[in-house]
Amino acid sequence: MKHSDFQIGATFWCGGHEWRCTDIGTRTIIAVQVDEVKVVRHSPGAPKSMAIGTLNREQAHAEGWFSGPPYEVSEMVFDEYDMAACSSDCEGH
C-alpha cells in the first residue's frame, strides 16, 4: 500500500494481522491491532498473581480496548518501508 491508500478508521492487513488506522503523519501511519489483543492482568492482594491471555476482536471491543483516542492498546507506527508490506484485504497476506 502507498501512504495515500490509508484512511483514519479504515482497516488494513500487515504481518498476518488486521490493523485499524488511527492517525496519518507526513511519512507514517499509526494503527492499533484489532484482530486480537494480548493482555496481562494482575490480581491485588496476597499472593499476587498474573494472568496472560489473548482477547479476540469481539471480547476486546466489548471491554472497550478500541475506544479512543487515547486507546487502551498500544499504537504501532508504520513507516514507508512497513507500508509496502501492508494490504487492504486479508487475501494480500
pTM, whole model, 2 decimals?
Answer: 0.83
Say how far apart CA 70 and CA 92 lie, in whole Å. 30
The residue ranges of every structural domain in the chain are 3-87
Encode pLDDT of 16-47 as tens digits.
999 999 999 999 999 999 999 988 877 777 66
Encode pLDDT of 46-64 as tens digits.
667 777 889 999 999 999 9
Say how far apart CA 8 and CA 16 lie, in whole Å. 20
Dump strand ranges (E) for 25-79.
29-33, 36-43, 49-56, 76-78
Write down the pLDDT at residue 1: 95
Dump strand ranges (E) for 1-93.
11-14, 17-24, 29-33, 36-43, 49-56, 76-78
